[in-house]
Amino acid sequence: MIYLIPSLRYNQLEFSREEAETRTQEVRERAEAIREQQKKERAERQLSEAHARELTEEIEKKERQEITRQLQNVREVYEKLEAERLQKLEHVENRSLAERLNKQLEPLRRDMERTLEKIDDLEWLEADKDLGKQVPEGFAESLQKDRKKFEELLEQLDEGYNKDTLDEVMDAAKSLVEKTSAVELPQNKAFDARRRQILWAARDSLNKANELIDAPDQITAEQNAKTNENAQATLPEPIAETLEQTDNKSIAELHDAAQQLEQLINESIDGSRAAELAMRQGTDIESARTKLIPSESQMSDIPALRAPDTPTTLGELDQRKEAVNEAARQVSQLNQRANQMAQQLNSNQSRDSATMSPSTSLNQALQNRLHKASSESQPGEVQDVSALMRMAMSQSGSDSSGPEGQEYRNIEGSPESANDFSPDSKQVVNLDGINITANALPGRRFSASSSRQGWLYLDTWYVIGPWDNDGDLRSFDIPLPPESEINFDGAYTGKVYTPQHARQDSEQGIIRGYTLNEPRTLRWNFIQSDSIRTMVPDEVSNATYYLHTDIYFEEARDMLIAIGSDDSAKVWINGFPVWQDSGQSRWALGEHFNKVYFKQGYNSILVRLENGPQRCELSFLICPPEINKAY
């Protein structure tokens, strides 16, 4: 059988583009409506109580195990951070103790100095015929011996508080008191009144000093009690119980424990930062805290976790699953952030020189070197900190390799000797700005076999800011969050968004989403510059910004770096300070040169950039020392 199909004219199939788009949109809307209806029907599909409980337990069981593992790790990190905080707190309190003791001992020193002067005049006692019977044999010699010992002990005490030395000082003072008290003054008028006055004055001075002997012991006892109190700081019982008995804990309870752990970690980090600042500025902990921006919570409540009943529909089950996944995600981020904070804090820690480890002491040596360089270096002069960096990384265990085929001065030994290290001859670099600007290439991976030669510049950065610097471009003493942690998911409170800032943004057609007259919420932003000079986004006056990047070296080696900033800046490489500049200054391509050491693999670079009235920019160029001679 043959069917005849009526022919259609071609123009009957034609329709406009607008009609086609309309029909396509209608089809999409119908399909979307069908999907929504199916989704709604699925969500409303009822579940039996037993089946719902089984599915819920299956969802939570897997995540509970992973959350528990993550929390155990976070707990270990917290305990390390807390131990570090207590150690730094003890350093600050010991310094405070020393200051109190020195103040308390000042009257003792003053009286004892006067006493020692009087003792010089007592040498005649043994020879005096009127006192010959009253003065013990060898009195003058014994007195002078005690006097000499006492002077030596006072000198030791001046160098710094030491409990053993203090005890010896007190014993010597008591000995002097006892010996002068043993002398009975004759009552006859023939006795020299001047000598009587000298002996009385010496005895009176020693008695006054003796009254002060117990005061330092009382201060020390107070300090010991405070230290013991601090040492008792442990994980709060509810959190400890939750972490130790996880089998019968819900995801909501574990999430609560994670939030409390985050708060404790933030408090511990803030305490460590405050202790470091207090040590640097010679202030107390509370004063230092007022100058720091507190760490902020990155976790949030998840109401769906607290649903009291077992899900009865597939929709409720999906909500519970999303809530459990969100809890697992937040705990995972907390774990990563805690480890990053611990690593960052360890690399940036600075302690009192009397208690520094070799690596932190070398860190301080680098700090001293850059202070000196910023005030004494001449234009184009290269500051060589490569040897200090190599020693610091080696002693901290982060690197043990060195450039091949090069000889370096043996600087093994004390950090003090490393601080005095300087190259045999100063190197001076004269940059051809026009040539370099025209030919320099961007780069973040460095290989000896690369065809690219000469100066390379860093063009990709993560940037965060602005924080308010109150126009202070000379001090880097107050650390901001990026110096404690590099957390690209973190959010921080920044500089207030003023009407002036809003007006400037409006003129440029920029919408930032900030609230007027409220602090900005700051997050890390990725930027890539198309030139040597990197401009910070959201630029405002009197503000602080941070830039962070990683660069890769196939092998460890020394490199020249050229840094230019507008205005002042401070640079860390792998946590070690290598350069800083203070005050207002215009950007210059060859503002400062350093010879630095990069380890094999990835190397982190952190820049703190301070802006004054206007313009905020940075350039960071890198070149092998031997190749620079050709450019």
The predicted-structure confidence for 196-245, as pLDDT tens digits, reads as follows 566 666 666 556 655 555 555 555 555 555 555 554 445 566 666 666 66
Residue among 75, 68, 86 at smallest CA distance from 260: 75
| Nearby residues of 220 by Cβ (< 8 Å), 6 or more positions away | 97, 101, 163
The DSSP call for residue 46 is B
pLDDT band of 351, cuts 50, 70, 90: very low
pLDDT at 408: 31
> How many angstroms separate the CA atoms of 356 and 362, rounded?
9
pLDDT at 525: 93
Q: What is the pLDDT of residues 41-51, one digit of tens each?
A: 555 555 566 66
> How many angstroms separate the CA atoms of 471 and 267, rounded?
28
Q: pLDDT: is 335 or 193 the higher one?
A: 335
Q: For residue 371, is pLDDT > 70?
A: no
In total, how many domains does the chain have?
5
> Does the residue 252 lie in any domain?
yes
> Does the residue 360 lie in any domain?
no
Q: For residue 475, is pLDDT > 80?
A: no
> Within 13 Å and on the Cβ side, how many CA atoms surround 553?
18
Give the relative orientation of helices 163-181 and 193-211 as an angle to the nearest 10 degrees: 150
pLDDT at 7: 47
Residue among 607, 578, 582 at smallest CA distance from 594: 578
Pick the most confident of 164-173, 183-192, 207-216, 544-553. Answer: 544-553
Please check whether residue 355 is in contact with residue 93, taking contact to mean a CB–CB distance below 8 angstroms: no
Q: What is the mean pLDDT of residues 251-274?
A: 87
Of 327, 348, 369, which residue is a domain's last?
Answer: 348
> How many angstroms separate the CA atoms of 162 and 327, rounded?
51
Q: pLDDT: is 36 or 83 the higher one?
A: 83
Residue among 546, 542, 538 at smallest CA distance from 504: 538
> Does the residue 507 lie in any domain?
yes
When mean pLDDT is compared across 350-354, 484-488, 621-625, the lowest value belongs to 350-354
- What amino acid is encoded at 146 in this protein? D
Q: What is the 3-state secondary structure (H, E, C) of 316-381?
A: HHHHHHHHHHHHHHHHHHHHHHHHHHHHHHHHHCCCCCCCCCHHHHHHHHHHHHHHHHHHHCCCCE
* 426 & 537 share domain: yes
Q: Coil, helix or strand for 497?
A: coil
* 506 & 550 share domain: no
> Does the residue 241 lie in any domain?
yes
pLDDT at 409: 28
Reported in sequence order, the residue ranges of 413-454 that DSSP labels E, i.e. its strands, are 441-442, 445-446
Report strand pairing: 460-468 vs 543-553. Answer: antiparallel
* 576 & 464 share domain: yes
Cite the DSSP H helix spans in 349-481. Answer: 358-376, 386-396, 415-419, 433-439
* 30 & 174 share domain: no
> Does the residue 261 lie in any domain?
yes
Q: What is the pLDDT of residues 497-506, one digit of tens each?
A: 888 887 877 7
- What amino acid is encoded at 193 in this protein? A
pLDDT at 154: 63
Q: What is the pTM of this model?
A: 0.55
Q: What is the mean pLDDT of residues 155-162?
A: 58
> How many angstroms separate the CA atoms of 273 and 216, rounded?
29
Cite the DSSP H helix spans in 182-213. Answer: 193-211
* 69 & 110 share domain: no
> Does the residue 8 lie in any domain?
no
* 303 & 245 share domain: yes
> How many angstroms separate the CA atoms of 30 and 41, rounded?
16
pLDDT band of 354, cuts 50, 70, 90: very low
Which CATH number is 146's domain given?
1.20.120
Q: For residue 464, is pLDDT > 90?
A: yes
pLDDT at 440: 84
* 340 & 414 share domain: no
As given in the structure block, the two tokens for residue 301 are 């409540």
Q: Which residues of 596-620 are buried (b: 16+ CB within 10 A; e: fewer)?
A: bbbbeeebebbbbbbbbeeebbbbb
Percent of the chain with pLDDT over 70: 57
Which CATH number is 543's domain given?
2.60.120.380
Q: pLDDT: is 436 or 211 the higher one?
A: 436
What average pLDDT is seen over the chain? 72
* 197 & 127 share domain: yes
Q: For residue 9, is pLDDT > 50?
A: no
Domain that holds residue 72: 49-95+234-348
Q: % helix / strand / coil in the chain, to the nearest 5?
A: 50, 15, 35
* 215 & 105 share domain: yes
Q: What is the mean pLDDT of residues 169-177?
A: 66
* 519 & 538 share domain: no
Of 191, 223, 255, which residue is a domain's last?
Answer: 223
Q: What is the mean pLDDT of residues 377-382?
A: 72
> Within 13 Å and on the Cβ side, how many CA atoms surround 7?
2
Percent of the chain with pLDDT over 90: 11
Report strand pairing: 592-598 vs 557-566. Answer: antiparallel
pLDDT at 225: 58
The DSSP call for residue 614 is S
Q: Report CA 286 to chain centroid distance, whole Å.
A: 17
Q: What is the mean pLDDT of residues 325-341?
A: 86
* 469 & 573 share domain: yes
> Does the residue 374 lie in any domain?
no
Q: What is the mean pLDDT of residues 362-369?
A: 56
> Does the residue 557 lie in any domain?
yes
Report strand pairing: 617-623 vs 557-566. Answer: antiparallel
* 341 & 453 share domain: no
pLDDT at 598: 95
